[in-house]
Amino acid sequence: MAKWRPKYPRLAVWSERAEHVLTFYEFPPGLRRLVYTNNRVESFNKQLKRMLKKQIQFVTEEALEKRIVSMFLHYNEALGRRRVRCWREIVDYYEAR
């Protein structure tokens, strides 16, 4: 790493802290798949924009806030009903530790 330090100082700093950055890879593969994706966030943002675009005008800022909160609650409720396919694998991994 010493030979790369002068040319790539940021890479050197990153590699010195790699044990903290790469702890993600200690998770079992099933849990990694669940945690690593931002598709759910992007999907929700897209839904939020689409729903708010339909309702162009809000009477007050409070009305907009209530609408957004209700959308969050609905999304969380729907997400909470989903089944995690690899849950048994994740539980076994942590019980074995």
Tens of pLDDT, residues 5-49 = 788 877 777 777 777 767 777 788 877 777 776 677 788 888 888
Averaged pLDDT for residues 72-79: 82
pLDDT of residue 1: 62
pLDDT of residue 71: 86
pLDDT of residue 87: 80
pTM above 0.85, yes or no: no
User: Helix crossing, 87-96 with 29-36: angle to 10°?
Assistant: 120
Question: Is the pLDDT confidence value at 72 over 80?
Answer: yes
Q: Which residue, 42, 29, 44, 36, is CA-closest to 75?
A: 44
